[in-house]
Amino acid sequence: MTGPSNLRLQRLWDAADLRHAGALAHAHANDASAPVNDGAGDGAKGRMHGEREDRRAQDARPREGNAREGGTEAELLDDAHCHLDLIPNGLDIAARAQREGCAILSCTVRPSDYARVRDAFLPYPCVTVGLGLHPWWVAEETQRAGGLDALMDHFAAHAEKTRAIAEVGLDLRPAYAHHAQLQRRAFARIADMCAQMGGKVMSIHAVQSAGEALDQLERSGARESCACVLHWFSGSSPELTRAIKAGYLFSVGPRMLASKRGRAYAQAIPRDQVILETDAPWRKDEPHTFDELQEGLRKAQAGLRRG
């Protein structure tokens, strides 16, 4: 049987649509001379239309009473943040998810990987592959591209054609301090382009940087025009309160709930701002199974219920 509707991945696409529409309406209200629809951005919207309809068709597929392989019935849950391309048998997991009717947002960490990963998962419409620039790989990808401008041009070309920008953000722990400024510049550029394009779902990594990440999302306008999902939130309590009040979404998984603070944060977040994630892989370079990822999602769901 299916999980609660408020935990379905379709919520993210719907939230992105609503925020984009609201941002456009606000812009027109503040500019009396602006035409109601001048056609700007129609090409990008057209390219994304098929993807949006595919996701809705997939999400509308009957999921009640789905029998898991092996003959037993179990609750099926969507995964709002994982990395199937980093799991050796990720395609097998995708195939099983497709048969079971589960939606997955699979994040990439390098723009140079995105096209290859996207194409690999095309046979499985239940999987949305996110365009990512994880902060750990910013320096490497900048060097590979020949500079930040070239990297951002490459990123923007793909961003025009996908709704999912995942995983991006900041990690300002000492281990990554040597390229902190480059991280900031890259994330600012990504937030700006997402705000301008609108309608994106952004899965955001913010470690020892939650306040900065929120500042940038708000300064750029991405918070207003995109669905911004804070992945495995680990900021301070005041930053959590700020993010909740600002209407951000939070993806919560078993690893977040493994710590006392993570559990306390998860209980503080309103249920209509929570969606589930696995953040798999949990074991480097080892196969995982669809069933164990589902079990991780169920554990996260149970952790939320205990509140």
CA distances from 41 to 58, 65, 194, 219, 281 (A): 26, 41, 13, 22, 36
Q: Is the pLDDT of residue 208 over 60?
A: yes
Q: Is the pLDDT of residue 183 over 60?
A: yes
Q: Is the pLDDT of residue 34 over 60?
A: no
SS3 call for 295: helix
Contact by Cβ (8 Å): 97, 126: yes
Q: Is the pLDDT of residue 307 over 70?
A: no
Q: Is the pLDDT of residue 35 over 80?
A: no
**pLDDT tens digits, residue range 89-106?**
999 999 999 999 999 999
Q: Is the pLDDT of residue 49 over 80?
A: no
Per-residue confidence band for 65, with pLDDT thresholds at 50, 70 and 90: very low
Across the range 18-37, mean pLDDT stands at 70
Of 16-30, 65-79, 211-225, 273-287, least confident by mean pLDDT is: 65-79
Per-residue confidence band for 55, with pLDDT thresholds at 50, 70 and 90: very low
Q: What is the pLDDT of residue 154?
A: 98
SS3 call for 32: coil
Q: What is the pLDDT of residue 48?
A: 44
Mean model confidence pLDDT for the chain: 88
Q: Is the pLDDT of residue 64 over 80?
A: no
Across the range 222-238, mean pLDDT stands at 97
Distance CA 19, CA 26 (A): 10
Contact by Cβ (8 Å): 216, 226: no
Task: Specify the higher pLDDT residue, 147 or 23.
Answer: 147
Of 11-20, 88-97, 224-233, least confident by mean pLDDT is: 11-20
Q: What is the pLDDT of residue 31?
A: 67
Torsion sign (Cα): 259, 170, 94, 73: positive
Of the candidates 256, 141, 156, the residue with the CA atom closest to the CA atom of residue 205: 256
Q: What is the pLDDT of residue 32?
A: 54
Per-residue confidence band for 5, with pLDDT thresholds at 50, 70 and 90: low
Of 23-32, 272-281, 294-303, least confident by mean pLDDT is: 23-32
281: preceding bond cis by omega (within 30 degrees): yes
Of 34-38, 71-75, 169-173, least confident by mean pLDDT is: 34-38
Q: What is the pLDDT of residue 54?
A: 43
Q: What is the pTM of this model?
A: 0.87
Contact by Cβ (8 Å): 277, 251: yes
Of the candidates 255, 244, 250, 246, the residue with the CA atom closest to the CA atom of residue 230: 250
Of 60-74, 121-135, 220-234, least confident by mean pLDDT is: 60-74
Q: What is the pLDDT of residue 47?
A: 38
Across the range 174-196, mean pLDDT stands at 97
Across the range 195-201, mean pLDDT stands at 97
Across the range 255-265, mean pLDDT stands at 95
